[in-house]
Chains A and B, each alone.
Chain A
Amino acid sequence: MALPSYAGPLETFWYYAFRVFCGMVFIFLITPLLIIIPLSFNIEPYFSFTEGMLAFDPDAYSLRWYEEFFGSERWMAAIKNTFIVAICSTFLSMVLGTLAALGLSRSELPFKGLIMGLLISPMIVPLIISAAGMFFFYSSMGVSQSYLGLILAHTALGTPFVVITVTATLSGFDYNLVRAANSLGASPTYAFFKITVPLIMTGVISGGLFALMTSVDEVVVAIFIAGAEQRTVPMQMWAGIREQISPTILAVATLLVCMSILLLSTVEYLRRRSEAIRGISAH
């Protein structure tokens, strides 16, 4: 989008003003994520840059908050809980969501609109409402304050992402490939695992990553239905920010930013791969 050669001075001004504005929006988007990284190495328990930090004095920086984080039993237990819940609920979401997406992509399915609406409803209903409802229902069923309850809840919240991504992958799926496999003598099961699964795998995995992120980041439902024993990392952060905010939170935040960079790279890689497979070039 270069500036056309016939542009007048007013248009030139607008062109640069527009670019500067966009640059400022990008700064607005990314600064909050970057600012916490140096702050997490602050030796003082402040949320601000000390004079020593600005002068790049090595004594003003320390790994103090990281040591506190890795030395804390509470945080380590929280990491363990987060992993248990996230892995179980992501696995369940991927299996249930993929099966449902396979059914939804068949033209013979009756009440398709209604079923789709119900299946993605956990994504539309505000979390605070889901949390309140789950609190009532799960307590009456006796599964609140347990790993099972939290896993079930996070699975319900994660499946819509798998359903949507796998359905999208299947919309470009060529069923003739399965028919060809069948005509060459493959059994339906064999054709499913050899033809369908590899082709929809990118959709399944990126949906699964969305579900994983939902579970790892989810705090509203967790604070309503999980007990102290199931305390996850977001719950611990929530408590930490509310009670007494210490830079340990920033150390955790920095680690979480690194994790999101990793997840983002994976999802982007998968997206480009799936576009390449489907013949839509990313470049």
Chain B
Amino acid sequence: MMANTVEAEGQLTPDEQKRLTSDMHRSLRRKKFRALFLVAPLLIFIMVTFVSPIATMLFRSIDNPQVSEYMPNTTAALADWDGDNNELPDEATYAALVEDLVVGRKNHTIGKAATRLNYEKSQMRSLLTGTARKAGRLKPPYKDQLIKINKGWGDIDNWRVIKRESKPYTASYYIAAFDMETTPEGEIKMLPENQRVYLKMLWRTVWMSVVITLLTLLLGYPVSYLLASLPMRVANTLMILVLLPFWTSLLVRTSSWIALLQGQGVINDILVWFGLVNDESRLSMIYNATGTVIAMTHILLPFMILPLYSVMKTIPPSYMRAARSLGATPFTAFVKVYLPQSVPGISAGAILVFILAIGYYITPALVGGQTGQFIGNMIAYHMQSSLNWGLAAALGVVLLALVLGIYALYSRLFGGNNQMTLR
């Protein structure tokens, strides 16, 4: 009897237990909401100002409204046409085309559809705009008259292109971004070797970024080792030499490399003065791939040194001394003891430099000349000069996928331990 009462006092009735659990749940939920409430403003802000733009770009790379929007009658008429039997579309389709051309010319919209089709097949622009100029005067039946105006209207391949691009979404920007083309028969194949541009550019970007990453590692590793092993006071002073470039504007550093490397620049002057180089044969170290590599190695070197240094700082110097005292040569001690422990720093620095390098645009544009351009410059070219925004978006998505892929691989290999944070 007694024991029973004691037990009852210590325990809660099922009813009380239920109430307690629900109270705890409610309090936890309230805390959860409070945390979410703090994060929400920035999360919404980033969603609107940053994530939506990226999503817009994804959409732009497949969006294909021009033909279906500005040539609606032709699009509808071509829906029942089967391009596979070698027959031209019927008279009704030609009539629809004339209607679209007349309306499109009046509203100044036919140029947009013509430009879009010209990306797929050259001469499509002149075919459409040229015919549009004369279409207003035509009387039915149209078919033979149109073929008379321009033989292109008797070419079944042109009709196939119009039909293919009248769909609201397209893969053709990606096909172009990978240096491929769609044949009139609808097959996708690689362009001839001499017409490939983007894959070559992408390959050059990756290759040059690898070179830059290796150079920063080669220059950064010894410096980080020195900084990590020097007394704190000296190391902090020398660190200024690393941090000052890090805090200096990218454009400042790029323009000082122009001053240093150009034909009449400081380095060439010194070489000529010492008689190492003839005044007539000054070295061309800028406006080519060399210039891009030198300037970008300098710009990205602090991004290698800082993570390396922060990892090396945690390696106790006694390990090396222990290895030496056990008979290891300095080389063996370094390779077997120090190097493996510095791998997290190497990987963090390398991934950071590589990801930054691969997306560079400003420095290659200013010092890269013809041979030192990156894929980012190609994106900017299509955004600002050729105005082929779909292709620019597709190239952007390819680059983004590459960067995110490398980042994912890195977090998988190295468990995403956060060496990438700032100092």
Point out residues on A near B: beta carbons under 8 Å.
1, 11, 14, 18-19, 21-22, 25-26, 28-33, 35-36, 39, 46-49, 96-97, 99-100, 102-104, 106, 108-110, 115, 118-119, 121-122, 124-130, 132-138, 140, 152-153, 155-156, 159, 161, 163-165, 168, 210, 213, 216-217, 219-220, 224, 234, 237-238, 241-242, 245, 249-250, 253, 256-257, 260-261, 263-264, 267-268, 271, 282-283
Contacts and interface: CB of A to CB of B under 8 A. Distances in A.
A121 to B, nearest CB: 7
A132 B232 CA distance: 44
A97 to B, nearest CB: 6
B407 A36 contact: no
A156 B56 contact: no
Contacts of A48: 259, 264-266, 269
Given A115-B43, A216-B249, 7 more contacts: A35-B266, A99-B39, A103-B36, A106-B31, A133-B53, A210-B422, A264-B244
Contacts of B40: 103
Contacts of A11: 330
A180 to B, nearest CB: 20
Given A118-B46, A241-B366, A36 B250 contact: no
A130 B57 CA distance: 9
29 contacts: A29-B302, A30-B244, A30-B245, A31-B260, A47-B262, A47-B264, A48-B259, A97-B42, A102-B38, A103-B38, A104-B39, A109-B36, A121-B51, A126-B359, A129-B396, A136-B60, A137-B56, A140-B56, A155-B45, A156-B46, A159-B46, A164-B421, A168-B422, A210-B422, A234-B251, A237-B252, A253-B252, A257-B252, A282-B232
A254 to B, nearest CB: 9
Nearest to B257: A32
B392 A132 contact: yes
Contacts of A137: 52-53, 56
Nearest to A121: B50
Contacts, number: 265
Contacts of A257: 244, 248, 252
Contact of B244 (A18, A33, A122, A165): A33
A263 B247 contact: yes
B198 to A, nearest CB: 15
A103 to B, nearest CB: 3
Interface stretch (B72-80, B106-114, B234-242): B234-242
B243 interface: yes
B251 A241 contact: yes
Contact of B396 (A132, A152, A249): A132
B62 interface: no
B50 A241 contact: no
Interface stretch (B118-126, B130-138, B171-179, B219-227): B219-227
A245 B232 CA distance: 42
A124 B403 contact: yes
B35 A103 contact: yes
A213 B422 CA distance: 14
Contact of B399 (A35, A103, A126): A126
A210 B423 CA distance: 11
9 shortest A-B CB distances, which residue pairs? A126-B359, A103-B38, A133-B53, A103-B39, A137-B53, A100-B42, A109-B35, A133-B57, A1-B229
B422 A161 contact: yes
Nearest to A134: B53
A159 B256 CA distance: 30
Nearest to A116: B39
Contacts of B423: 271
A129 B55 CA distance: 11
Task: With a 10 A CB-CB cut-off, give which of B242, B249, B269, B383 has the most chain A CB atoms.
Answer: B249
A264 B257 CA distance: 22
Contacts of A249: 255
B358 interface: yes
B96 interface: no
Contact of A234 (B54, B240, B249, B265): B249
Given A33-B256, A48-B266, A216-B249, A129 B42 contact: no
B38 A99 contact: yes
A224 B383 CA distance: 9
A77 to B, nearest CB: 18
Nearest to B220: A25
Interface string B255-281: 111111010111001000000000000
B248 A33 contact: yes
Contacts of A140: 56
Contacts of B253: 32-33
A201 B248 CA distance: 24
A138 B265 contact: no
Given A165-B422, A238-B251, A282 B236 contact: yes
Contacts of B31: 106, 108
Contacts of B45: 96, 155-156, 159
A236 to B, nearest CB: 10
Nearest to A152: B49
Contacts of B269: 48-49
Given A121-B46, A127-B359, A29 B298 contact: yes
A109 B383 CA distance: 40
Contact of B43 (A31, A118, A138, A165): A118
B389 interface: yes
B149 interface: no
Contact of A245 (B241, B258, B266): B258
A142 to B, nearest CB: 14
B380 interface: yes
B328 interface: no
B343 to A, nearest CB: 20
B297 to A, nearest CB: 9
B259 A250 contact: yes
